[in-house]
Amino acid sequence: MPAPTNHFKQRLARGERVIGCWAGFADPYATEVLGTAGFDWLVIDGEHAPNDLRSIMAQLVALKGSDSAPVVRLPMGEAWAIKQVLDAGAQTLLIPLVESAEQARDLVRAMRYPPAGIRGAGAALARASEFSSIPDYVQTANDQMCLLVQVETRAGIAALDDILAVEGVDGVFIGPADLAADMGFPGNSAEAEVAEAIRDALGRIAASDKAAGILAVDDATAQQYAGWGAQFLSVGIDVVMLAKAARDTVKLWSGRG
Ligand SMILES: O=C(O)C(=O)C[C@H](O)[C@@H](O)CO
């Protein structure tokens, strides 16, 4: 019995558009709720949500029966953190602030067992191997790894063609907020210069053998990004959804006192 098939990786490879959402409550109960909504993928955000290895693992467990594929974002692409989260059962990683092909190659290697990479062989006690119930996990896991790198600085954009040439990178995600900030327009990814950089980058990624990804928090922007070539498209953030719904409810009733 081989390592679990990464259906999300297969869908990207087939060129399917897949719609996702950010899971930012760092709580398995909230992520389990999201997992019933019908999203194709969910980002368990270890960069900007208060997650740690145990909360990430608890959310992987919560999504085990869901059709929503878990995508785990780490704070940075450190090999030791990648080793831990893969052993916890993650198969798709979103790694922020990638700015070179060398960095991308190092991430590919960190996600794979030797000789293709440097992932430590601890599967015997790992959730990923179902605690050794998958006897050939180490021999079959590499093929199920899905690496999504975030390009979200001017340096990353400049290195995009080189990053796109790296074997083992499955997708490139453009981070609009960080890119806008790095370009001198913090908080304004709709600024013409930033929007043009996003449009150009999504087009170049879509023309490559990688999947293009991005996040939008309003429908008009999401539609625009889809038209520019976004294939794995996140269309919301759970925390923002709840906060907005709560404020709208208060606004609705505040005038009815
Ligand atoms: O740069 C970006 O935009 C992203 O990487 C997404 C953000 O980190 C996400 O938290 C929404 O702001």
Q: Which pLDDT band holds residue 255 (cuts at 50, 70, 90)?
A: confident
Q: How far apart are CA 183 and CA 194, in angstroms?
A: 7
Of 79, 78, 64, 67, nearest to 41 by C-alpha is 67
Ligand 1 neighbourhood includes 239 CB (under 6 angstroms)? no
Q: Is pTM beyond 0.95 here?
A: yes
Q: Which pLDDT band holds residue 132 (cuts at 50, 70, 90)?
A: very high
Q: How far apart are CA 208 and CA 164, in angstroms?
A: 7
Ligand 1 neighbourhood includes 40 CB (under 6 angstroms)? no
CB 163 within 8 Å of CB 156 = yes
Ligand 1 neighbourhood includes 215 CB (under 6 angstroms)? yes
Is 7 a known active-site residue? no
The SS3 call for residue 148 is: strand
Q: How far apart are CA 214 and CA 253, in angstroms?
A: 35
**CA–centroid distance, residue 59 to ligand 1 (Å):** 20
Encode pLDDT of 141-200 as tens digits: 999 999 999 999 999 999 999 999 999 999 999 999 999 999 999 999 999 999 999 999
SS3 content of the chain, % helix, strand, coil (to 5): 45, 15, 40
Which residue type does 101 have?
Answer: A
Q: How far apart are CA 149 and CA 188, in angstroms?
A: 22
Q: Which atom of ligand 1 has the smallest separation from the CA of 237?
A: 11
By alpha-carbon position, which residue is closest to atom 2 of ligand 1?
175
Ligand 1 neighbourhood includes 87 CB (under 6 angstroms)? no
Structure tokens at 51: 């997650």
Backbone angles phi, psi at 6, to 5 degrees: -90, 90
Q: What is the pLDDT of residue 231?
A: 98
137 Cβ contact list (under 8 Å, min separation 6):
2, 3, 123, 128, 129, 130
Q: Which atom of ligand 1 has the smallest separation from the CA of 178?
A: 1
Encode pLDDT of 134-144 as tens digits: 999 999 999 99
Catalytic residue among 7, 13, 30, 48: 48
Mean pLDDT of 3-29: 98
CB 249 within 8 Å of CB 208 = no
Ligand 1 neighbourhood includes 177 CB (under 6 angstroms)? yes
Q: How far apart are CA 117 and CA 136, in angstroms?
A: 17
Give the whole-number percent of the chain exceeding pLDDT 90. 98
